[in-house]
Amino acid sequence: ADAILDRVVHQAHRLQLKGESMRKVQAKAKMKLPD
């Protein structure tokens, strides 16, 4: 398993995302809705 993971990680590209996560955005939207 370690060897497979090493090959996958070695060939992977790293993405850096900006902004709030969708979970935070959706949680804020839910809080604003009336019960």
User: Which of 7, 23, 6 minimizes the C-alpha distance to 31?
Assistant: 23
pLDDT of residue 34: 64
Between CA 31 and CA 35 the distance in angstroms is 9
pLDDT of residue 30: 87
State pLDDT tens for residues 1-35. Answer: 999 999 988 888 889 999 999 999 999 888 886 65
pLDDT of residue 4: 92
Between CA 17 and CA 3 the distance in angstroms is 28
Q: What does pTM read for this prediction?
A: 0.41
User: Which of 21, 17, 16 minimizes the C-alpha distance to 29?
Assistant: 21
